[in-house]
Amino acid sequence: MSCMIEVRDVSKTFQDKDRTVQALNHINIRIEEGDIYGIIGMSGAGKSTLVRCLNFLEVPTEGSVIVDGQELGALSDRELRQIRGSIGMIFQSFNLLMQKTVLDNILFPLKIQGRGKAESLERARDLLKTVGLADKEKAYPSQLSGGQRQRVAIARAIASDPKILLCDEATSALDPQTTNSILQLLKKINQEMGITIVIITHQMSVVREICHNVAIVEHGSIVEDGSVEEIFTHPKSRAARELVFEGSETSETFAGRHAADRTMEELREKRRIRIVFTSNSSFEPVIGNMVLKFGTPVNILKADTKDVDGVARGEMILGLPDERELQEKMIDYLNARGLAVEEVN
């Protein structure tokens, strides 16, 4: 696949009264054609500034952005408007025209493009079928649920046949069930239309569900990037670890011992490891077999199963026995059975 978006050494500063704010600091990312790429970070990390640099709604202070082979900074205003026509965008707040019907909202970008009325109507109605709202064309946004509004916004964003769809916190205002339905719709659009999708979010669950690759932004810099599976299995940065562990539940420990009965200070004194179950190891009761083999219980401090790009991945945090030699034998045992093992501190 060819590169659809390349960000080269991009920095962005803003002047705020008497001080200069560094929103982005030497960002480098590469997004392949047809990818679903996640950009994740907490509020204020710089991810929304970054996504606005991808279509030059924000012009970088330094560096360059290349979209579909064209460097945006070298384009005329007219050329920049043309390439923006190939980039759709959806937002957390939907940004629909509240005085227009659902159908008219989708027709709006087609009118701007100067398409014929009959062609535009056919296109708009086809898109309403695609997003599951064929019966809502005469409704107004105020009559729709949040999920339905976002579906209209998606239909409007792809009406002009863009090559790229930028999604800036597009599911943040939605409940989990509705979020999942929107993510499945975006996945369908990516697969059937080949649109490259960039997801801006602060939720690792969104990235795990839909993205193939991800960049983690913290304080305006990329602290880690790679495939979602790689970062889920072996998070290297502090920010990645925090995001990966997001939503993990403390569970009962093996052999009837309970992590909830222990203080955090006691837990910190123990050696802890995180294991990730791959497809080859998830069918074997590895922990149970290990306990039987070594005759010593281990604490299951946390356990969870997550969907990582459509594949179920199990993870656990284990508290190991005190004896160092036994700890190493257990880690070797887990490694030998294909589990990813790393220290947790």
User: What one-character-per-residue DSSP string does 247-260 give?
Assistant: T-EE-BPGGG-BGG
pLDDT given for residue 344 in this prediction: 79
CA quadruple 208, 213, 216, 217: dihedral positive or negative? negative
The mean pLDDT of 115-124, rounded to a whole number, is 91
Q: Which phi and psi (to 5°) does residue 215 adopt? A: -120, 135
* Highest mean pLDDT: which range of 92-96, 195-199, 237-241, 306-310: 195-199
Amino acid type, 220: G
The mean pLDDT of 131-139, rounded to a whole number, is 92
Alpha carbon dihedral 145, 202, 28, 208, in 10-degree steps, equals: -80
Q: Is the pLDDT of residue 32 over 80?
A: yes
Q: Is the pLDDT of residue 249 over 50?
A: no
pLDDT given for residue 310 in this prediction: 65
Question: Comparing 28-42, 213-227, 310-324, 330-344, which segment has the lowest mean pLDDT?
Answer: 310-324
Write out the two tokens for 51.
């996504």
Dist CA 270 CA 223 (whole Å): 28
Distances in Å between the Cα of 104 and the Cα atoms of 107, 123, 138, 196 are 5, 12, 9, 26
Q: What is the mean pLDDT of the chain?
A: 85
CB 63 within 8 A of CB 8: yes
Residue in this structure with the two tokens 């005190």, named with its chain if needed:
322
pLDDT given for residue 10 in this prediction: 95
The mean pLDDT of 251-261, rounded to a whole number, is 37
pLDDT digits (tens, 9 = 90+) for 97-114: 999 999 999 999 998 888
Q: Is the pLDDT of residue 282 over 80?
A: no
Fold of 247-344: Alpha-Beta Plaits (3.30.70)
Q: How confident is the model at residue 298 (pLDDT cuts 50, 70, 90)?
A: confident
DSSP state of 135: G
Assign 3-class secondary structure to 84-99. Answer: HCCEEEEECCCCCCCC
Question: Comparing 55-59, 147-151, 267-271, which segment has the lowest mean pLDDT?
Answer: 267-271
CB 96 within 8 A of CB 173: no
Q: Is the pLDDT of residue 254 over 50?
A: no
pLDDT given for residue 255 in this prediction: 35
The mean pLDDT of 208-214, rounded to a whole number, is 91
Write out the two tokens for 97.
């025209």
Q: How confident is the model at residue 281 (pLDDT cuts 50, 70, 90)?
A: low
> Of the CATH numbers 3.40.605.10, 3.40.50.300, 3.30.565.10, 3.40.50.620, which one belongs to the domain with range 3-234?
3.40.50.300
CB 331 within 8 A of CB 274: no
> Can you point out the beta strands (E) in 195-260?
196-201, 213-218, 221-227, 249-250
Dist CA 268 CA 164 (whole Å): 46
Domain boundaries, the chain: 3-234, 247-344
